[in-house]
Structure 1
């Protein structure tokens, strides 16, 4: 989906239940980019595993996704796996695919005016897969589409981004306001860094789901609630 160039409101205003690292609400300007309408699915990831002979997620059987889960987001992949998929996809298509920065992800989720959720400023049930026990197909919640028509931006699975949180889980090396200051470096000096992931997951309650929420994990993390989607820069 095309996300036009220009400014948008990122982050949150200080308030009850809002962590300091999510504040302040501030303006960030980005060039135009394209972002996947959906997270990468098992069906999309399988050719990469097969053709590139890449390690399959542990939940797969004989290097194949579980039966009936072809349209579920791929999970059990770490940040390096997601980066490797982007590199493979770029090689296959000749197009500059990569992971989004957290700013790109957030703009695609909430548009320009800082709305709380992809669908507006009021929480609505049945707009995303949350407070549940299972992952759902990526098109299961069409009413949760963002202003740029992206689905699954909240709930279902969280999504890796390029952006570095830092080396210490208790302290962000890169604070807000968001800047192009090395926080999206794919090869930082320290290889044990925590990367930002966005969007919440199927287990989360509504109070923990909003477009501005920032979460992070060490790059080697492989869990059943963390996947990714891709972006493509304008050529």
Structure 2
């Protein structure tokens, strides 16, 4: 039985991307995409849920193994020794009082391991969303600019998202901005923390993308897409069409994830998820070998 906190997104066509002259070229062109039915987490995976996974499996995240994570020091991103999902700003910080906040400082490998654990636990297949699934869940079928519509994120005393507005305020508990809910009622699709997607990064993918979602590109580039903006990024990153990417093996204090569950037994993206795991471990082996050689 699916978690009651998942939302069903019905199959059909929606318009993905943007043709606005002010948007980044990687969001162009705007194009129609057919997406099959799928369920998506209403909220991002929280520290509490991720902790349960780690405790039951004795899992160590990439940042814990590497003993470093990409975090903020005086407002600037730096690799900090001892920074990980339990200690997001270094060894002297803690998330013990933030169980209902989105887990951050997790890599694609960490997120896929969580998906695998959840799949076994609930006897159903879970994975990361494709870019098309993520964007449809965020903006729906009416072409809106933001998950909630076209209104500004903060307007007439109504605040719809946690984002950088001149001061870094940190993450909030998931679902803290109900007026920022998406077309389908999914929370925090704009702001708070970015969501990892399963697709590898390709700035020009939209120019050649098929009109039916089969998952995005698989690449040895080691970059994965993340979507949705965060408390660290300004208002421009909150647009539903906004795309960013980072090394899939690099844990960042601004990136978390949520899962999807396809409604059909056969999922065309599944093989791509497996390929991403192969790519990841190949890269990890190469990194570890290089470190040993350079000692």
State the Cα deviation string for residues 63-96 of structure 1 (Å, max 9, x = none): xx72220000001100100011101110111111
Q: How does 1:146-165 map to 2 (within 5 A)?
A: 146-165=182-201
State the Cα deviation string for residues 79-120 of structure 1 (Å, max 9, x = none): 100011101110111111100001000000000121000111
Query: Normalising by the residue count of structure 2, what TM-score does the alignment of the two structures yield?
Result: 0.71
Which residue of the other structure, out of 14, 21, 43, is the alignment partner of 1:8? 14
Decide whether the 8 Å contact of 1:24 with 1:177 is kept in 2: no
- Taking a change above 3 Å as real, the CA distance of residues 7 and 37 of structure 1, as seen in their structure-2 partners, is same
Decide whether the 8 Å contact of 2:41 with 2:258 is kept in 1: yes
Secondary structure of residue in 1 paired with 2:207? coil
Partner of 2:181: 145
Deviation at 1:183, TM superposition (A): 2.7
Deviation at 1:145, TM superposition (A): 0.3
Deviation at 1:207, TM superposition (A): 2.6
| Unaligned 5+ runs, structure 2 | 1-6, 65-83, 265-295
Q: How does 1:59-98 map to 2 (within 5 A)?
A: 59-60=85-86, 66-98=95-127
Which residue of the other structure, out of 34, 45, 51, is the alignment partner of 1:40? 45
Look at both structures and tell me which one has the larger radius of gyration over its CA atoms.
2
- Taking a change above 3 Å as real, the CA distance of residues 209 and 150 of structure 1, as seen in their structure-2 partners, is same
- Taking a change above 3 Å as real, the CA distance of residues 21 and 92 of structure 1, as seen in their structure-2 partners, is same
Rounded to whole Å, the distance in 1 between the matches of 2:40 and 2:259 is 6
Rounded to whole Å, the distance in 2 between the matches of 1:177 and 1:211 is 20
- Taking a change above 3 Å as real, the CA distance of residues 59 and 108 of structure 1, as seen in their structure-2 partners, is closer
What value does the CA root-mean-square deviation take over the aligned residues?
A: 1.9
Rounded to whole Å, the distance in 2 between the matches of 1:77 and 1:67 is 17
Partner of 1:24: 29
Query: Normalising by the residue count of structure 1, what TM-score does the alignment of the two structures yield?
Result: 0.89
Q: Which of 1 and 2 has higher RCO (CA within 8 Å, sep 6+)? A: 1
Rounded to whole Å, the distance in 1 between the matches of 2:60 and 2:174 is 23
Decide whether the 8 Å contact of 2:131 with 2:216 is kept in 1: no
- Taking a change above 3 Å as real, the CA distance of residues 177 and 119 of structure 1, as seen in their structure-2 partners, is farther
Deviation at 1:14, TM superposition (A): 3.7
| 1:128 matched to 2:154 | no
Rounded to whole Å, the distance in 1 between the matches of 2:258 and 2:104 is 11
